[in-house]
């Protein structure tokens, strides 16, 4: 039996424009910081799991596990909760100061969401959500054939793996909750859009940077040419987000925790953009093989478009100065290059333009980069 302990508690998240936003999140330790999104929960198909949730927030909190079968609490199936015939929670909850346990056995591999089922219009945007990855029963990362999203012989082998969870912030909601005041969702209009609880350019920073203690997960995707990169999306917010990477299309292999395959018929498909709906999950394979590039055939790709070269302040660039992968060249005088070793950068972002701003300022929001390196440690892109 796998046992996971979570604490619901409050904290402040940081935005790149210098704001601190009060939020509610989950922590994996009693004394540690709350985090947004909550800790990644990695499970295995067929292996029972118990999640103990301790609530330190001022109102009842619960956990929903959409897509998981047979959830019980204290030996009984979980049920919607009523007070005076009024629905108060979609599932059993913990009152302030209490601990509640949920037990289930993940039946199938895939990418799933967990989130509060108590007052979810308020509690989920406040940050009470996170991602679940269920490994297939035969998963073994040491053997290529068994390092898959959906099991051996499903065509879902991968070299590296990244989880991107979308979310939105409407600062007035967070302030009202902090002050214990009511909030009208009539006026819900987010000002920040997040990947893994961070707004660009913080999305491109490493995991666990010390100055983002409540936002431990980066969203930068790093790989070598030709590698199979498994990108998992989870739509944890209220809004839909049309997400796409540049450089190559993705192949959608799983949707809402279901492998896109019917018996021997492969139902996967290539897409430039997928619309990540609220509550949805997508599993995709991204392979960068730009214009026939292989290490044996290092023909330069086309020179980057000017608007793909700039990042942040005028005079900053991720361009190496050379069209060859792994080669550094000259950049124009006065321009600062953030390119470390001749890697290529491709944007991955929401195609809804307000969503790539921080309170109206571009660039920001739901945007990150895919970096293609000439060589990269095998420990990069491991989901823990
Ligand atoms: Cu684009």
Rounded to two decimals, the pTM is: 0.94
DSSP sequence for 46-112: T--EEEEEEE-SSS-EE-B-TT--S-EETTEE---EEETTEEEESS-EE-TT-EEEEEE---S-EEE
State the pLDDT at residue 295: 65
C-alpha of 241 from chain center: 13
Kindly report, residue by residue over 185-236, the tens digit of the pLDDT: 888 899 999 999 999 999 999 999 999 999 999 999 999 988 999 999 999 9
List C-alpha distances in Å: 105 to 44, 67, 73, 99, 380.
9, 11, 13, 20, 30
pLDDT band at 94; cut points 50, 70, 90: very high
Q: How many CA atoms lie within 13 A of 150 on its CB side?
A: 24
Q: Residue 221, preceding bond cis, omega within 30 degrees?
A: no
Average pLDDT score, the chain: 93
Rounded distance from Cα 273 to ligand 1 centre (Å): 9
* Cα 246 to middle of ligand 1, angstroms: 6
- For the chain, percent of residues with pLDDT exceeding 90: 80
Cβ atoms of 67 and 43 closer than 8 Å: no
Q: How far is 16 from 346, CA to CA, in rounded Å?
A: 21
Residue 187's nearest CA partner among 167, 177, 175, 172 is: 172
CA 141 – ligand 1 centroid, Å: 32
> Beta-strand (E) ranges in 272-381?
274-276, 281-286, 316-317, 336-337, 344-350, 367-372
Distance in Å, CA 244 to ligand 1 centroid: 6
**Most distant CA pair in the chain: distance in Å?**
72
CA 243, CA 25: separation in Å to the nearest integer?
25
Instruction: Report the Cα–Cα distance between both ends of the chain, in Å, rounded.
Output: 19
- Read off the pLDDT of residues 357-379 as tens digits, 9 standing for 90 and up: 999 998 899 999 999 998 899 99
How far, in Å, from the CA of 239 to the mean position of ligand 1? 19
| CA of 42 relative to ligand 1 center, distance in Å | 30
**What tens digit of pLDDT does each residue of 335-351 get?**
888 898 889 889 999 99
Cα 8 to Cα 53: distance, rounded to the nearest angstrom: 7
Name residue 371's beta-bridge partners: 222, 345
Between CA 325 and CA 298 the distance in angstroms is 7
What pLDDT, in 10s, does the model give residues 34-52? 999 999 999 999 999 999 9
| Beta-ladder partners of 230 | 161, 285
pLDDT tens profile 305-337: 555 555 556 678 888 888 788 889 888 888 888
Q: Is residue 97's pLDDT more than 60? A: yes
**Ordered DSSP codes for 88-107:** EESS-EE-TT-EEEEEE---
């Amino acid at each position: 039996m796998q046992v996971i302990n979570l604490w619901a508690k409050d904290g402040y998240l940081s935005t790149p424009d210098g704001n601190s936003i009060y939020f509610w999140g989950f922590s994996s330790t009693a004394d540690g910081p709350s985090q947004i999104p909550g800790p990644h929960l990695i499970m295995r198909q067929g292996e029972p799991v118990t999640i103990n949730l301790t609530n330190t927030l001022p109102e009842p909190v619960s956990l929903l596990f959409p897509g998981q079968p047979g959830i019980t609490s204290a030996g009984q199936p979980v049920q919607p909760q009523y007070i005076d015939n009024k629905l108060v929670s979609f599932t059993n909850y913990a009152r302030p100061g209490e601990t509640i346990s949920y037990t289930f056995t993940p039946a199938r591999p895939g990418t799933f969401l967990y989130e509060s089922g108590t007052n979810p219009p308020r509690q989920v945007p406040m940050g009470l959500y996170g991602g679940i990855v269920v490994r297939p029963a035969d998963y073994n990362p040491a053997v290529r054939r068994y390092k898959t999203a959906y099991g051996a012989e499903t065509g879902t082998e991968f070299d590296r793996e990244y989880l991107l969870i979308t979310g939105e912030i409407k600062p007035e909601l967070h302030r009202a909750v902090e002050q214990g005041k009511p909030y009208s969702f009539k006026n819900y209009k987010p000002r920040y859009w997040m990947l893994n609880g961070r707004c660009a350019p913080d999305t491109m920073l490493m995991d666990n940077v010390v100055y983002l203690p409540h936002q431990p997960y980066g969203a930068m995707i790093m790989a070598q040419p030709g590698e199979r990169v498994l990108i998992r999306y989870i739509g944890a917010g209220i809004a839909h987000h049309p997400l796409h990477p540049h450089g190559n299309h993705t192949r959608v292999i799983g949707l809402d925790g279901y492998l896109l395959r019917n018996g021997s018929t492969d139902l996967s498909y290539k897409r430039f953009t997928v619309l990540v709906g609220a509550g949805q999950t997508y599993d995709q394979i991204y392979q960068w093989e730009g214009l026939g590039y292989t290490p044996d055939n290092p023909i330069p790709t086309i020179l980057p478009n000017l608007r793909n070269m700039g990042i942040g302040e005028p005079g900053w660039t991720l361009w190496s100065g050379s069209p060859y992968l792994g080669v550094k060249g000259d950049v124009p005088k006065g321009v600062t290059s953030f390119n470390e070793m001749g890697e290529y950068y491709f944007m991955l972002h929401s195609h809804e333009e307000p969503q790539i701003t921080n309170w109206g300022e571009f660039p920001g929001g739901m945007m990150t980069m895919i970096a293609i390196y000439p060589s990269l440690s095998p420990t990069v892109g491991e989901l823990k």
